[in-house]
């Protein structure tokens, strides 16, 4: 079945630094990738949608200059959290959509900013 690899699974960084999270579709081409954020005991909230080779579309309230998304190929999308602050600590999850429309999620990245 379709597999999405998300890396790293957890990361701790210092306040003010940047962190990059990778999302790869291993056995299919992902026309669209989605990035979600999930705070403790809350549901997943969509942050942005990215299509290969074009700029990401951000949801209202999500700072595009803080959460940089790159979708340079049909199998790789990255989310960079720039100048991270403690309030950015969260569980970040990517989802890849294949040509037939199915969604596959990565295993998530737990970011802790100290």
Partner 1 sequence: DAKTTQPPSMDCAEGRAANLPCNHSTISGNEYVYWYRQIHSQGPQYIIHGLKNNETNEMASLIITEDRKSSTLILPHATLRDTAVYYCIVRVGGGNAGNMLTFGGGTRLMVKP
Q: How far is the CB of 13 from partner 1 (least distance, A)?
A: 19
Quick one: which of 25, 32, 78, 90 contacts partner 1 (CB under 8 A)? Answer: 32
- Binding string to partner 1 for residues 3 to 22, with x set by CB under 8 A, is what? -x-x----------------
Identify whether the C-beta of residue 93 lies closer than 8 Å to the C-beta of residue 44.
Answer: yes
Q: Across 1-114, where does the E strand assignment appear?
A: 4-7, 10-13, 19-25, 30-38, 45-51, 57-58, 67-73, 76-81, 90-98, 103-105, 109-113
Q: Which of these segments, 12-20, 42-50, 60-68, 69-77, binds partner 1 (CB under 8 A)?
A: 42-50
Asked if the bond preceding 48 is cis, omega within 30° of 0, the reply is no
Q: How far is the CB of 57 from partner 1 (least distance, A)?
A: 8
Query: How far is C-alpha 94 from the chain's CA centre?
Result: 4
- Binding string to partner 1 for residues 68 to 107, with x set by CB under 8 A, is what? -----------------------x-xxx-x-xxxxxxxxx
């Amino acid at each position: 079945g379709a597999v999405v690899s998300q890396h790293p699974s957890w990361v701790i960084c210092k306040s003010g630094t940047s962190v990059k999270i990778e999302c790869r579709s291993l056995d299919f081409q992902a026309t669209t990738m989605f990035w979600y954020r999930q705070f403790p005991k809350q549901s997943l909230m969509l942050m942005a949608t990215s299509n290969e080779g074009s700029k990401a579309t951000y949801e209202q309230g999500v700072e595009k200059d803080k959460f940089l998304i790159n979708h340079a190929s049909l199998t790789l999308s990255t989310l960079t959290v720039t100048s991270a602050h403690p309030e950015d600590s969260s569980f970040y999850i990517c989802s890849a959509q294949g040509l037939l429309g199915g969604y596959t999620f990565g295993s998530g990245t737990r970011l802790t900013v100290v």
